[in-house]
Structure 1
């Protein structure tokens, strides 16, 4: 008698289906609240971005009424559409969380799947916490599994998100383990994302591929709920993810020690609304120019030694002449120029007017980015950067950083997370509403309905 082979999706789905709030460590629960507050702030800050407004216009034509709340507008849409809209808001400023091992990812891109499906199922705050922890767990584990990472092979990390979002959606919809396994197969088999979206001159799709992967997972879970099937071998079987993307994968990472500790406690938050590898250089530049009281006109060169992938992604020729927000927030020369001129890098650094600012653009040619082989050897344990600024009078100042603010080794405090939320929400909701949102999130495990939080997020201005 032969038995069917056990695929890794089976073990992932079984653990997800059985995970309960009571299984979570207190530290994981607290981190889930922090990442939810951070994500809601990013979503409110992103609500009026042009790409979000375009997407909302299209959804107004094609989406159906439903149980899931859209942030900002307050509309109640079907769960697939609401998950897409909210995930785009979370992602659009490039300000939500970051985890980077073999691959980078933004696990909070998946939180809108948990919210939408949780609202549909009538879930409470504890259920949402389970969904957040679950999404971070498998997204972060997938970022550790490929050697080299799929980003180095030309694929975008949204490819990985499409394997995780159906797990989160399925768990919040209370699907069986087998149904969740089928949902993984449905979404994962059709949603590979090309790295072109973050290469060269960037477009709105840079912000959208992750939300679309989240949307795909929600749709897959709905199909699986009705009996639709997907390939159970989609990761480790014939012509699955491992077979097609090769060469080396350590799939034991995906399930080894599940529940013994929680990956969400190892994720990072962003102190700047920019690509993750810009953060340490920005911090180093800010430290030098503020400590030495340097004015832009005094600086003749900013020499940055960093990773090969930083030089490749963030300093190719298109990044020295950015004319869109998407290219600018992935341009190390631009981000450094903003830090030099404005002594900070915020969402306002990427307005059309700021991108055209002659004083800022004059700094771009001063930035030289060099890949350093010794620094490469330290990654991903360290994201070391060495910045040297040279002035007109021949002085030079050097700063080395091994990881940026927001890294779990130098995390944002709860007060800093609140301050970030307040700054992002200020132009969208009233101060008393912002206080109510923060209170609801910090007491999320006491809320009887996810919708209680979502109803607070309607734009007031």
Structure 2
């Protein structure tokens, strides 16, 4: 009898081992953790963090490996908070679609705190979470050029469920039910309203609920609760629930445990939507080529040629009035980059959101869609053309933005990003200690040292 897809995934969750994982996958898992932790520290500097404090409920929960742990938030609620903060700046990792680390890392950190997991067990859960989440994501095919139903949290719930199931040491059968329960309780695909609607909001990708429900799905499965094991199969499968036009079933399990999707994960150099990274990079570079101060008003015009979606709202919005609109605004992101503002929380402070000089620079940007005959190599390729008032002109084209997996950010740059985000929260020494702890995690008997830095 052929196994259901949930059962194949359940077996993978229960059986994957760090000892058989290729070294590049092992190394990448640490970088994914480092990037998500940096974004978590960045999110803790935002007003949103204060709003979420009430969800951090102190309780005693009996972990699967021993006695109760006191002073820790209930893991599902803790996962909601962490996932929301990791994604809050839109600075978190990127994949073919979505930001898988927000839900995987949030769930793994929250559950590991209770299960007293070792560093090796934690990294195994992270790798497993990425593989399951990403594979479900890329299996959801949209034939229409512009989707009516769209949402990453809808499928990223599976990364949270898989990571939690592994850390809770569920067997293959229980892990399969965790995936099935997650499918039946996934958040609705709401991005066309929460991001592409008239007013982008802090609800955004709904990663908080995806992480919370993923953890809860694993806990329910551990308690004996059951889900529909055939949830992926057939014309009424999960892909229909998620609003996809079809399901590429081979993407779900082909090469599972041999070909690793985590290697196709990238890291952002700018705190804005992935769709506009190339536009931001090209614009920053062309200003540098011209050697001008953007505040001086020496340029007559800047034309940015970008994918058509970037030339439409909300991405074309000039002078956004809050951070949720700003992180999807190409003109705002371009202005922050060319004015040399450090990516992260500083991009969204009121002083910059309402700065008149930066606003006038945004007004000078003309967004033009790629023409039908253009064939850039990168899906999000962009060009920036700058003309100065003295008649000089400069042009810069970016096929693949720095930070994409095919044009990776140097390790030193990723570490620099982490230090900039973490130091305001834990100090320079605490941030350096966190980096050391991440790199040595496979040798750590527990996550206690790393978790201590996170709560300081």
Both proteins in one fold, TM over 0.5 = yes
Which residues in structure 2 correspond to 1:261-280 (within 5 Å)?
A: 261-280=259-278
Residue 300 of structure 2 corresponds to 300
Compute the TM-score of the two structures, normalised by the length of structure 1: 0.89
- Quote the offset at 1:20 in angstroms: 1.1
1:202/1:324 contact within 8 Å kept? no
CA distance in 2, matches of 1:418, 1:92: 20
C-alpha distance 137-121 of structure 1, shift in aligned 2 (>3 A): same
- Quote the offset at 1:123 in angstroms: 0.9
1:162-213 Cα deviation digits (max 9, x unpaired): 2332111111111122212222222222222312111132111126x11210
Out of 137, 156, 172, the residue aligned to residue 151 of structure 2 is: 156
1:405/1:411 contact within 8 Å kept? yes
- Quote the offset at 1:106 in angstroms: 3.4
CA distance in 1, matches of 2:373, 2:13: 37
- Quote the offset at 1:140 in angstroms: 2.4
- Quote the offset at 1:374 in angstroms: 4.7
Which residues in structure 2 correspond to 1:36-51 (within 5 Å)?
A: 36-51=33-48
Match status 1:81 vs 2:88: no
1:183/1:230 contact within 8 Å kept? yes
Match status 1:322 vs 2:317: no
Residue 112 of structure 1 corresponds to 106
C-alpha distance 36-409 of structure 1, shift in aligned 2 (>3 A): same
Structure 2 gap ranges (5+): 64-69
Out of 232, 238, 256, the residue aligned to residue 235 of structure 1 is: 232
Q: Aligned residue pairs: how many?
A: 443
CA distance in 2, matches of 1:361, 1:275: 19
Match status 1:441 vs 2:441: no
C-alpha distance 66-301 of structure 1, shift in aligned 2 (>3 A): farther
1:290/1:343 contact within 8 Å kept? no
Residue 71 of structure 1 corresponds to none
CA distance in 2, matches of 1:404, 1:328: 20
Which residues in structure 2 correspond to 1:200-279 (within 5 Å)?
A: 200-206=198-204, 209-237=206-234, 239-244=236-241, 245-279=243-277
1:197/1:203 contact within 8 Å kept? yes
- Quote the offset at 1:119 in angstroms: 2.5
1:378-405 Cα deviation digits (max 9, x unpaired): 67x5431122223333433221111111
Structure 1 gap ranges (5+): 69-73
C-alpha distance 120-149 of structure 1, shift in aligned 2 (>3 A): farther
1:400 partner SS: strand
2:310 partner SS: helix
2:161/2:217 contact within 8 Å kept? yes
CA distance in 1, matches of 2:314, 2:95: 18
